[in-house]
Structure 1
Amino acid sequence: MQNLVKLHHLDIGGTDLEEMPKKMSKLKDLQFLSFYIAGKHEENGIGELGELAHLHGSFCIEKLENVKNSGEASNARMDEKIHLNALYLRWSCSSFEESEVCDSHTEKDVLEKLRPHKDLKELFIWDYRGTMFPDWIGQSWYHKMTELELSGCRNCWVLPSLGQLPSLMTLKISECDMVKMIGGTFYKGDATHHHQQTPFPSLKYLSFYYMSCWEEWESYECDEDDAPFPQLEHLLIANCPKLRGVFPSFLPALKELVISGCEELGCDLPRAPIIRQLEIYGKQKARMRDLPLSLQNLRIEGNQLVDSLFEAMTHTQPTSLSYLRISNCSSVVSFPGDALPPSLEDLRIYDCKNVEFPMQHQQHESLTYLTIKNSCDSLTSFALSAFSNLYYLRIQELENLTSLEVSQSQSLQDLSISGCPKLENIIRLPACLRVLRIRECGLLGEGIEKKDPHIWPSISHISYIYVDDNRIRNDSTS
């Protein structure tokens, strides 16, 4: 390889190389190199990158655990590679088996000397073994940086100061197992609140995943006009089992909030007046104070959240809500009055056995999709006349349901029923119904298979009828 001195482009992606060829430094005209594996020896070590000054685009350095000291890292001359837009720095996951004996000070010094040029746009640091990050990460002189990811940095106990990156739009943090608190230094380095710039002024996407020890997100005390994250649109937090709170109190631009696997989270959700999508899963103890009028998609799980949702619906009703899913609620609770928003198109209820489904007479013309599974034990007879434009209906595991009545005037085309052992008959099926699926409904399924005269006349017009995955032939439609 060292003889290809005029080579400009070398893509070694997907080759499963374990080490680089010797003397890569001789390829001084190289403009693209997909990645470089830092070797243990001088002839294929990280110092060979020093002469490759013309690299463009994205570049990844792997097996950084093989870099013995900051002198070797300095020889790579990363700060001189001014044509790079994105830099990936990766240590091997297996190197964490030796992390107890690695020198944290040396690890930090190595990363310090891998500092890229100041016009870099994207930075990804994976499986770094040090306990602290060097100061250059998050410095405001990286004025063009738009994306930053810190993943698998399992020894780090504090996150770097990132709030003063003026152009940062995407920030992803995951598997930083030693971090217990995210506080003032996350917003700015000296942890004081008197500064010249709002923290995270351009950030639009923020995610935290698999932060096993994270307990507290310290609030940032300031005037509302100077609150951090003024542009944040998407906030995702998943598998942070010890996180208790507190969220940023005001996120004026938030459109999507997703929380999953944060069982200890018991704080109020942030105020977000234009939020469109809210998803909260697991056994969270978080509370909903109100419902933004602009909310379009809502998915929540657990007693406290479902209870607070119904309470919030009595005060405010989102005018844009089109999708609502509630699940895993054991509380005895009912939809308050006619609380289904008139804009609702898709309603799904899972594992809410004590929730009472509203049987109000008000018409819900927007609802086209309805799913009820293992829920609403009090529901013995179900009349769908209130949902005149229902297109798809799925009913599963309603153990006490005995009758289902569908209006002949509906646009219902797909009906699926399973796990309803007491259901004997369905009546007034509309002429437009094309697909009927019946599973694990002993009484109803047996009657359809035998073409019982009490059942068959009301369904014989349906093109596709299935009982326990077996198609029931219909001579008049086949």
Structure 2
Amino acid sequence: MAQDLMQPHKTKTLEEVGEEYIKDLVSRSFFKYWRGREDRITMHDLVNDLAMFASGECCLRLTDKSSDVLIRNARHISCFKCNITDEKILKDLYENKVLRTLLTLEMHSVEHLRSMQFLRVLSFTAVFATIKMELLNSICNLKLLRYLDLSRLEEIPDKIGTLYNLQTLLLRFCSRLTSLPDSIGNLKHLRYLDLSYSSIEKLPDTICQLHELHTLILNRCWKLTQLSINNATDLINLRCLDIRGTGVRELPRQMSKLENLQKLPKFVVGKDSGSNIKELGKLKHLHGYLNIEGLENVVSVKDARKANLIDKVHITELSLAWSGEIGGSVEAREVLDGLRPHPDLKALSIYNYGGTTFSDWVGRPSFSCMKGVRLIDCKNCFMLPPLGQLPSLERLNIRGLDKVVRIGDEFYSDGSVITKPFKSLKFLYFSGMEEWKEWAFVEAEDGGVFTNLKELRLGDCPKLKGASCLPDYLPSLETLRIEGTGHHLVASLSNCRYPSLSLLRIERCRKMKTFPGGTLPSTIQKIEIRECHELVSLSEEGWPSNLKSLAIRGCRHMMQWNLGMLTSLTSLEINFIYEEEMEEMDAYPKEEGQLPTTLISLRFCTIKKLKSLNGSALHHLTSLQSLSIEECRQIQCLPQQGLPTTLTSLHLHNLPNLKSLNGDTFRHLTSLQKLTIEFCEQLQCLPQERLPESLSELKIRECPLLKPRCERGIGEDWPYIRHITRIVIDGYDI
């Protein structure tokens, strides 16, 4: 698009034509989506190699080994991940008279820039924010620049307005940049302006002079409260306006005049002079995500209908949000009725809706593309919409519906025949349902409802109880999370059939004094128990026969529990006990047999009153390979009795009172391969004998007393570690 290489189409915008080009190139493996995200693409490795070969000496990735001939003749140079300090390389670079593109190179003086008068593209993103104004003014003498990236800088010179050919200006992450110079309005050819994550407080009035501006990105400019655009017609060519994460509460008047607008992630309904929701009606080309805020300001239900969302075929994600005091339920319902979107919508979110019931269109099976639904803080609703009818729904999040007491047949269908409700649903989350007491289920063909559900999360539903408070049969469920509920819900697990369940997380379950309260599904391989303060003991029976991993966090009595009966357990994590809730503990484990001998991995973290480890008890862990001790602030030395001889990895992190590693501890660790020591500021030295011959990697970080003793060749502890293949100190290999 920028190079005018795309052929116009009679019925399609240039952006749509470009998207087709991209999809075609992806299908041919020229490009590929970065980590599955369709908004980011990278070149395929093989195609990149071909492009580098075909470009010859025209393009160069600068390194400290690049030849002077290449540097002087290349037209496009980048030095990503390269810090050039060699004076000869810099001299060759600045003698290049044909250079057109220079990416992320730190300039050292004004003189360096004066030799680059033909530059078209310049990026400064890799340099520090503190650049002298003299150098910035010198940049403004590069009159042929079309693309300029000054991200992370602190200030912008007034001379920026003399770059008359500039088309793209990036000022991202400029945390100290609070304003733009008025001269910005002189950039008559500017098409793309990105100020995201900057501290801009107000745009200059001259912004309205940028009549060629296509894209204005203000994402996360949280100090910005107004746009300073008196009339939207001043920016008639605008195609993208992004004000997400800003404090802007009103949009410019006559937004409907921006007929070329394609991306408007956030639209705020004005209270007084701001834009009316009916302004959306004439914006026929909107694409992607649209969030409409301030719906409490809709004056007339007719205005909501005039927004004409039902005809906006390219809107894929829609968010509807009311704020402040929830308006009258009748008015809110009528507004929601009028905001029915196109049936091709893929995701719907509704926030703070004040109606008692949802519109009839919410949950209709005609929305066959709908994959995600969020209903958040709809405090007056007493009944859920028939979301089970949505054939493609994969993710459902319902939170803060305070009036819902019972979820019944209405949740699965509106009375029409649905043979398999929620047939595509994979993730189901309920939270903050203060009055919810009963969850009823319906009969369905082919294994019932939720047959493809993989994750179920129930959080802060304190009144949900009874033998049937969980679905009886979920054949595909892999993860179950129960948070902030009563112990009845956990106990009801013994009545459920979940043949695929592998992870169970229990968190903040009130009044749960013992666990498990019944027989858990045998397929569970990992259990996490978090912040269950009243949990006193663990049962001897009812545990999954194939349990491999157990993580316990923030449970008041957990250091007293006997875990020896978990004979299949291979991984154990004991993490975070509130200091005021824990008594002084001389050693852990207290006795032999408190931990299962099958453990392979063991982690202790943030147990602040633990003074030491019981080496005698740990010696019986004859399968232990990995031991991690983190943020246990009272530990002063490793156990004299030693550690299990099977250890291959030992990690010591943030032990501020650790003073000695104890040579006896390491003498018998003949299998140890990796030793990591971090943030142990009082650790004075390594054991005064050679560390195990098996050790192949030693990492030391933020240990000020230890660091000088380990210097290559001259440190006092160097003779004890010189045999280790890899030694890393504060991130650097030595």
TM over 0.5: yes
Say which of 406, 410, 422 aligns to 2:643. 406
Shift of 1:149: 0.7
Partner of 2:74: none
Q: 1:471 to 1:224 in 2, by over 3 A?
A: farther
Write the deviation string for residues 194-230 of structure 1: whole angstroms up to 9, x where unpaired: 943222111111112333x233242314368442211
Q: Is the 8 A contact 2:535 2:555 kept in 1?
A: no
Matched, 1:281 2:504: no
Q: Is the 8 A contact 2:264 2:290 kept in 1?
A: yes
Matched, 1:74 2:308: no
Q: CA RMSD in A?
A: 4.3
Write the deviation string for residues 351-372 of structure 1: whole angstroms up to 9, x where unpaired: 59999776289853x6133327
Matched, 1:219 2:440: yes
Matched, 1:37 2:268: yes
Say which of 717, 727, 734 aligns to 1:477. 717
SS of aligned partner of 1:312: coil
Partner of 1:371: 604
Q: Is the 8 A contact 1:289 1:308 kept in 2?
A: no
Shift of 1:377: 12
Where in structure 2 are the equivalents of 1:437-448 lying within 5 Å? none
Shift of 1:276: 2.3
Query: Matched residues in 2 for 1:15 and 1:43: separation?
Result: 16
Shift of 1:21: 1.5
Write the deviation string for residues 92-126 of structure 1: whole angstroms up to 9, x where unpaired: 2xx22xx3xx3211111111111111111111111
Where in structure 2 are the equivalents of 1:77-476 lying within 5 Å? 77-92=308-323, 95-96=324-325, 99=326, 102-190=327-415, 195-211=417-433, 213-222=434-443, 225-244=446-465, 246-263=469-486, 265-266=488-489, 267-269=491-493, 270-284=496-510, 285=512, 287=516, 289-301=518-530, 302=532, 310-313=540-543, 316-318=544-546, 321-325=548-552, 328=555, 330=557, 334-335=562-563, 337=565, 339-341=566-568, 344-348=570-574, 359=593, 364=598, 367-371=600-604, 373=607, 381-394=616-629, 396=632, 404-408=641-645, 410-415=647-652, 427-429=664-666, 430=669, 432=672, 434=675, 476=716
Structure 2 residue identity aligned to 1:106: E
SS of aligned partner of 1:50: helix
Q: Is the 8 A contact 1:403 1:424 kept in 2?
A: no
The TM-score normalised by the length of structure 1 is 0.77
Structure 1 residue identity aligned to 2:455: H
Structure 2 residue identity aligned to 1:141: S
The answer to which of 355-364 and 75-84 deviates more is 355-364
Q: 1:426 to 1:250 in 2, by over 3 A?
A: farther
Query: Matched residues in 1 for 2:337 and 2:482: separation?
Result: 34
Q: 1:91 to 1:465 in 2, by over 3 A?
A: closer
Q: 1:263 to 1:371 in 2, by over 3 A?
A: same
Q: Is the 8 A contact 2:362 2:387 kept in 1?
A: yes
SS of aligned partner of 1:131: coil
Shift of 1:250: 1.6
Query: Matched residues in 1 for 2:473 and 2:602: separation?
Result: 33
The structure whose Rg is larger is 2
Write the deviation string for residues 253-283 of structure 1: whole angstroms up to 9, x where unpaired: 1111122222454441243211222111113
Q: Is the 8 A contact 1:347 1:370 kept in 2?
A: yes
Structure 2 residue identity aligned to 1:359: G
Matched, 1:19 2:245: no
Shift of 1:32: 2.4
Query: Matched residues in 1 for 2:295 and 2:664: separation?
Result: 69
Query: Matched residues in 1 for 2:690 and 2:634: separation?
Result: 21
Shift of 1:347: 3.8
The answer to which of 213-222 and 60-69 deviates more is 213-222
Q: 1:304 to 1:186 in 2, by over 3 A?
A: farther
Partner of 1:442: none
Shift of 1:412: 4.2
Structure 2 residue identity aligned to 1:222: E
Q: Is the 8 A contact 1:300 1:306 kept in 2?
A: no
Write the deviation string for residues 359-391 of structure 1: whole angstroms up to 9, x where unpaired: 289853x61333274799997952324234422
Q: 1:357 to 1:47 in 2, by over 3 A?
A: farther
The answer to which of 116-125 and 352-361 deviates more is 352-361
Query: Matched residues in 1 for 2:443 and 2:556: separation?
Result: 37
The TM-score normalised by the length of structure 2 is 0.53
Query: Matched residues in 2 for 1:77 and 1:10: separation?
Result: 20
Structure 2 residue identity aligned to 1:202: S
Query: Matched residues in 1 for 2:341 and 2:385: separation?
Result: 16
Query: Matched residues in 2 for 1:361 and 1:107: separation?
Result: 58
SS of aligned partner of 2:305: helix
Shift of 1:340: 2.9
Q: Runs of 5+ in structure 1 lacking a partner?
A: 440-444
Q: Is the 8 A contact 2:516 2:542 kept in 1?
A: no
Query: Matched residues in 1 for 2:473 and 2:611: separation?
Result: 36
Query: Matched residues in 2 for 1:378 and 1:350: separation?
Result: 16
Query: Matched residues in 2 for 1:42 and 1:418: separation?
Result: 60
Query: Matched residues in 1 for 2:410 and 2:282: separation?
Result: 37
Q: Is the 8 A contact 1:406 1:426 kept in 2?
A: no
SS of aligned partner of 1:273: coil
Write the deviation string for residues 297-324 of structure 1: whole angstroms up to 9, x where unpaired: 31024489785664123xx4116x2454
Query: Matched residues in 2 for 1:13 and 1:417: separation?
Result: 39
Q: Runs of 5+ in structure 2 lacking a partner?
A: 1-231, 710-714, 719-734
Q: 1:38 to 1:113 in 2, by over 3 A?
A: same
> Which protein, 1 or 2, shows the higher relative CO under an 8 Å CA cutoff with sep ≥ 6?
1
SS of aligned partner of 2:251: coil
The answer to which of 249-258 and 38-47 deviates more is 38-47
